Chain A
């Protein structure tokens, strides 16, 4: 391994990149744009669920009950309907996600101390939003029932009973449960995974396809030197991207960075080296840009999006699939980033993830070196 030859290859690659400013711009500007756009746009918070009401009771009690829905920030009453058909229409056309049907005898039943059943119709197609809406509605109904019970105790016993149980939820690591705090660290990982693998996946395939590989073969450069030389420029671009992303997380989105910055960048560097070697590996194995492109997309973006725990929590997946996620390097990086950002924990807890990430990086670098044959076949 001669440093001089590595440097020569790296210089050649740099020239390649800078000569095509569009690719360079994309490699730097696009990740930032994406983070900017998604950081603002993506949220799983459910507020102001549109609600229609069919109030058959039309009484003081039912209006009081409805106002509890309208008063909470989770629901907003969009209209009142008078027939079942209208309820159907509102939900079919997605004007409302939830319909509340209050029966005729609502007030009487509440007054006389019998249970009154209220129907809640939910558009279940978006199961996540629907689940949240149902739990909010349950909370509203429970609070109302408690108030009724308290009122009755007061009337009969001439004393105000205390609430029996105070539910004191405390949310750690993300006290306001801002989905932004949870999405942005994951988003950095997903974007980096894709950029890294994509930047490199074409570089060897391009040499083969254009025939310039023959020229490289005729030079004294060794396989290892070639791979290292090709990695260096892309690696520095990738690291620069990470730096920009972290700065944006800090100053634009104000995501709390509670852990060590040094650890964050070390992990990012290992991850980038691994992901880029994976890109190179794809490139070496396929020798065709079309196929390299296909594989890079199929193997990086979609798994990084769906299997990394970015949005879909790994703990909620079936067991066999949880095992498969161990093959997805983005999984470790997402876990590390979330740990460092939100929990502020260090290596003492993240050691397992860090070790596996390093293993992945080393394996990829090694594989890329082994598979690359400086031969004309």
Chain B
């Protein structure tokens, strides 16, 4: 058994390394991907291009605008003189926010009337728009509060402040709410999934299509040995990839890694079990490489989108939430983020790890069963 497996492994290694482009795909592309995507995945909203349409042009209105600028979230790029110009800027996407103060803004405030302050937001990107609105509401809210405080002081004739709530926010696990810390571990997980799935899903069907499967069938190799021989090299490559990519994430993007490295490697091994199993299953089910590729893709895309990588699972409809329990990527994401950001251990992550073990065993078992059938 060991002899036959050894030869199978040698054959697989030769096959992979013969093509220099393949070597690049396995070892260089993942790093490049992380470097590019690591920078892309950000939902931080800072320096939003803003236009000011100030009809009042008074000390107070300018004061309010400067509050927006000082917050660091808004960059005033233009003072516009007309509604049309503001609309054109929004249409072209050159600004995402327009701050508008009507004539008499300062007057109204002084006289104790309600002053109108309008914020026009480009809602095409609803997420950014939501955050921008939140920031604007906060700045205007604080501004009104100060006006009220001043009124109260005048009324009481002292420097006494009215009682108010000061919210002291502390973000755990990610003090500055850097979106990179949240997404980069996810990108690491995604790249590893992509590499393993792509490699293994082609493994068996390729032999079938080229016709070398028949040659293998006449050898005394058993299905288990064949599957093992197909899996082990890719498992090894993927493992190396995880380590390289995780290192880039930690050293280059300075994502904190708070949990145990040993646990990360263990969890990766469990996860690879599942992805390799799924890849092989796809490969044995497909007749042609094109089918294998399509099937892989249609596994990979939902796996990424329905994993909580970008879109929180808690917001999805109930039925879809149940569906995500079948998604191994979901579990790995919880584990990898838990280890990187929260530094939690097996006591918290054991259900996810257990799920990965079960899914891995089931898919590998299915793949080898299915493979036996194709042979017969």
| A→B interface (CB under 8 Å) | 20, 22-23, 26-27, 30, 34, 37-38, 40-47, 65, 91-93, 109-132, 134-139, 141-146, 148-150, 152-153, 156-157, 161-175, 177-179, 181-182, 194, 198, 202, 206, 209-210, 286, 288-291, 293-298, 301-303, 305-307, 311-313, 315-318, 320-321, 324-325, 335, 338-339, 342-343, 345, 349
Contact sample, A vs B, 25 pairs, CB 8 Å cutoff: A20-B288, A40-B320, A41-B311, A92-B344, A116-B164, A117-B165, A122-B177, A123-B173, A124-B174, A125-B341, A127-B179, A130-B171, A132-B130, A142-B137, A162-B113, A166-B117, A171-B129, A194-B297, A291-B22, A297-B198, A302-B190, A302-B194, A307-B36, A316-B45, A321-B40
B42 at the interface (CB under 8 A from A): yes
Among B115, B138, B297, the most chain A Cβ lie within 10 Å of the Cβ of B297
A142-B142, A209-B209 are contacts. A120–B168 as well, Cβ < 8 Å? yes
Main secondary structure of the interface of A (DSSP, over half): helix
- Do A161 and B163 touch (CB < 8 A)? no
Would you call A312 and B42 a contact (CB within 8 A)? Answer: yes
Cβ-closest 3 pairs across A and B: A135-B134, A124-B171, A174-B123
B288 contact set on A, CB distance < 8 A:
20, 206
A120 touches B169 (CB 8 A): yes
CB distance from A34 to the nearest CB of B (A): 7
A182 touches B91 (CB 8 A): no
Out of A136, A164, A173, A324, name the residue touching B148 (CB < 8 Å). A164
Give the CA-CA distance A80 to B206 in the complex, in Å: 59
A290 to B200, CA, bound (A): 10
Specify which chain A residues have a CB less than 8 angstroms from the CB of B128 in the assembled complex: 313, 316
Q: Which residue of A lies closest to B178 (CB)?
A: A127
B161 within 8 A of A: yes
Asked if A114 contacts B163 (CB within 8 A), the reply is yes
Are A167's CB and B136's CB within 8 A?
yes
Q: Is the CB of B125 within 8 A of A182?
A: yes
Any A CB within 8 A of the CB of B76: no
Give the residue among B114, B149, B315, B348 with the most A Cβ atoms within 10 A: B315
CA distance A315 to B36 in the complex (A): 15
Contacts of B368 in A (CB 8 A): none
Q: How far is the CA of A122 from the CA of B171 in the complex (A)?
A: 5
Which stretch from B1-9, B151-159, B227-235, B273-281 is at the chain A interface?
A: B151-159
B170 to chain A, nearest CB (A): 5
Question: Which of B217-225, B263-271, B300-308 lies at the binding interface?
Answer: B300-308
Q: Give residues in B with beta carbon < 8 Å to A.
A: 19, 21-22, 25, 29, 33, 36-37, 39-46, 48-49, 90-93, 96, 109, 112-131, 133-138, 140-145, 147-149, 151-152, 155-156, 160-175, 177-179, 181-182, 190, 194, 198, 202, 206, 209-210, 288-291, 293-298, 300-302, 304-306, 310-312, 315-317, 320, 337, 341-342, 344, 348
- Inter-chain contact B165/A141, CB cutoff 8 Å: yes
Q: Are A127 and B22 in contact (CB under 8 A)?
A: no
Interface SS majority for chain B: helix
CA of A167 to CA of B316, assembled, Å: 31
Q: A139-B138, A163-B114 are in contact. Are A115 and B120 (CB under 8 A)?
A: no
Distance between B155 CB and nearest chain A CB, rounded to angstroms:
5
Select one of A162, A291, A318 contacting B112, CB under 8 A.
Answer: A162
Q: How far is the CA of A23 from the CA of B290 in the complex (A)?
A: 8
Establish whether residues B40 and A307, one from each chain, have CB atoms under 8 Å apart when the complex forms: yes
Chain A positions within 8 Å of B120 at CB level: 170-172
* Residue contact A135 to B145, C-beta cutoff 8 Å: no
| A172 with B172: CB separation less than 8 A | no
> Given A117-B166, A120-B169, A182-B125 in contact, is the A131-B33 Cβ separation under 8 Å?
no
Number of A-B residue pairs having CB atoms within 8 Å of each other in the complex: 387
- With both beta carbons as reference points, the residue of chain B lying nearest to A345 in the complex is identified as B91
Is the CB–CB distance between B320 and A41 below 8 Å? yes
| Contact (Cβ within 8 A) B348 A206 | no
Q: Is B301 within 8 A of A194, CB to CB?
A: yes
Measured CB to CB, the closest approach of chain A to B27, in angstroms, equals 13
Least Cβ–Cβ distance between B150 and chain A, in angstroms: 9
Contact of B165 among A110, A126, A296, A318 (CB under 8 A): A110
B178 in contact with A293 (CB, 8 Å): no
Cα A66 to Cα B178 in complex, Å, equals: 28
Query: B97 to chain A: closest CB distance in Å?
Result: 10
> Across the interface, do B163 and A123 meet the contact criterion of CB distance under 8 Å?
no
B291–A142 contact, CB under 8 A?
no
Which residues of chain B are within 8 angstroms of A317 by Cβ–Cβ distance? 39-40, 42
| Closest Cβ neighbor of A22 among chain B residues | B291
Is B46 a contact of A316 with CB atoms below 8 Å?
A: yes
User: Would A125 and B174 be within 8 Å (CB), given that A30-B298, A321-B36 are in contact?
Assistant: yes
- What are the residues of chain B within 8 A of A47 when measuring CB–CB? 315
Cβ of B320: which chain A residues have Cβ within 8 Å of it?
37, 40-41
In angstroms, Cα B161 to Cα A149, docked, is 9
Which residues of A have CB within 8 Å of B210?
Answer: 209
Which residues of the other chain, A, contact B175 by a CB distance below 8 angstroms?
124
Q: How far is the CA of A27 from the CA of B96 in the complex (A)?
A: 37
Known A-B contacts A113-B160, A177-B126; A166 and B165 likewise in contact (beta carbons under 8 Å)? no
Alpha-carbon distance A26/B290, docked complex (angstroms): 11
13 additional contacts, CB 8 Å, given A93-B348, A313-B128?
A26-B295, A34-B298, A42-B305, A44-B315, A114-B161, A115-B161, A121-B171, A142-B142, A153-B162, A165-B140, A182-B123, A289-B289, A290-B202
B42 and A316 contacting across the interface, CB-CB below 8 Å: yes
Q: Given the complex, which residues of B lie within 8 Å of A123, measured CB to CB?
A: 171-173
A163 CB → nearest B CB, Å? 5
Q: Which residues of B contact A130 (CB under 8 A)?
A: 171, 174, 177
Per a CB cutoff under 8 Å, which of B121, B125, B163 touches A148? Answer: B163
- Complex Cα distance, B152 from A156, in Å, reads 9
Shortest C-beta distance, B77 to chain A (Å), equals 12
B33 near A298: Cβ-Cβ < 8 Å = yes
Q: List B contacts of A178 (CB < 8 A).
A: 126
Is the beta-carbon distance between A153 and B113 smaller than 8 angstroms?
no
Q: Which of A120, A202, A324, A345 sits near B293, CB closer than 8 Å? A: A202
Given contacts A113-B161, A290-B289, A318-B39, contact A338 B124 (CB under 8 A): yes
